Amino acid sequence: MTRVLIGPADAANIYYRTQWNSDAFCVYIEGEKTVLYVAGFEYLRAKKKVKNTQVKELTDLRKILQEITGEVYVDKDFPYRYTEHITGTVHVKHPYWTARVTKNQQEITYIEETQHLAQKAIQCVEDILKQTELRKGIAYYKGEILTSEYLKLKARTYLIQHEADCPDMIISSGEQTAYPHDGGSGAIREGPVIIDIFPQGKNRYHGDMTRTILLGKSAKVEQMLKAVQQAHKECIQRCVPGTSIASLQQHAEKVLCEYGFETTKEQGFIHALGHGVGLDIHEEPSVSGRNEETLEEGMVITIEPGLYYDVGVRWEDTVVVGKEPRVLGR
């Protein structure tokens, strides 16, 4: 059996196997011989950086692929146009390396380092929101209208100063919060403000944290937050080896329902409870009601229940599965 990866599409898997970090085109082949082919301008750096893998200069891609015979396995992100050059029989395997589903202690340390940065970036936003004044439903900060763009700039500045970044972070307010992945734009409005920051650190590993801050007063939003935080707490307590992943989603739905919040196709708790976190922000396992697998020691997953009606709330932490589940960043 031979495994083939092509970067940068398969960059995370290539890094996982070789510690090679580059956005330039490269080819990794693992079979009878394990070789990383890199562009000529990257060759000397790769020779210095890559351990336990032979490094060669990439010259004739078609010839390299044509020499691959037998059973060949590629990841789901493998560029399809290259399969026609592979002589062997190509199979798509996902997840590509099941070892990535659980994390070793070094990986957990990396994720926690990045999670601390996510936490600090959220704190930057919260500190500004605490100083706002509401005028006719609009938040003002130091006499000026406060915008989502300004808050993102402050959060990203902190992250970049610490060799991390999250260009697609979510800071939404008002009716934007009713849509889980609305990134937020324009003036910050009275009501819930969702802050979802999921940076990648200099170690390449991600963190993921969401908080919802209420500007002004709203009994409904306060009750939504109370319900979501309770579901969040109880699901984290269940993040132990052997727990059915589907049962976590079901339990969150049960708690929210007990608080009086029903879910339909378009409103309520309308997304999965969480996902794995690592070299990619979304990894296996998917923490959803459709996943029939069970939690394993060392998995790192998010727990992020939310409720979405005319406005929305969400609360998220990243958790290490174990006999005593551990929330990273605390």
| The CATH homologous superfamily of the domain defined by 2-96 | Creatinase/prolidase N-terminal domain (3.40.350.10)
Q: State residue 259's pLDDT score.
A: 97
Q: State residue 31's pLDDT score.
A: 86
107: nearest Cα among 322, 291, 320, 255: 320
User: What is the pLDDT confidence band of residue 76, given thresholds at 50, 70 and 90?
Assistant: confident
Higher pLDDT, 113 or 329: 113
User: What is the pLDDT confidence band of residue 321, given thresholds at 50, 70 and 90?
Assistant: very high
C-beta separation of 300 from 277 below 8 A: yes
Look up the CATH architecture of domain 101-327: Alpha-Beta Complex (3.90)
What residue segments make up the domains of the chain, in order of their start?
2-96, 101-327
pLDDT tens-digit profile of 197-255? 999 999 999 999 999 999 999 999 999 999 999 999 999 999 999 999 999 999 999 99
Write the Ramachandran bin of 143: left for phi over 0, alpha for psi from -120 to 50, otherwise beta.
Answer: left
Separation of first and last alpha carbons in the chain: 43
In angstroms, rounded to a whole number, what is the distance separating the alpha carbons of residues 145 and 131?
A: 12
Q: Strand pairing of 209-215 and 300-303?
A: unpaired
In what side-by-side order are the strands of the sheet with 326-327?
Answer: 283-287, 274-276, 300-303, 317-320, 326-327
pLDDT tens-digit profile of 207-223? 999 999 999 999 999 99
Q: Residue 143 has which token pair?
A: 């006499």
Higher pLDDT, 145 or 17: 145
User: What is the pLDDT confidence band of residue 32, given thresholds at 50, 70 and 90?
Assistant: confident
pLDDT at residue 182 above 80? Answer: yes
Nearby residues of 59 by Cβ (< 8 Å), 6 or more positions away: none
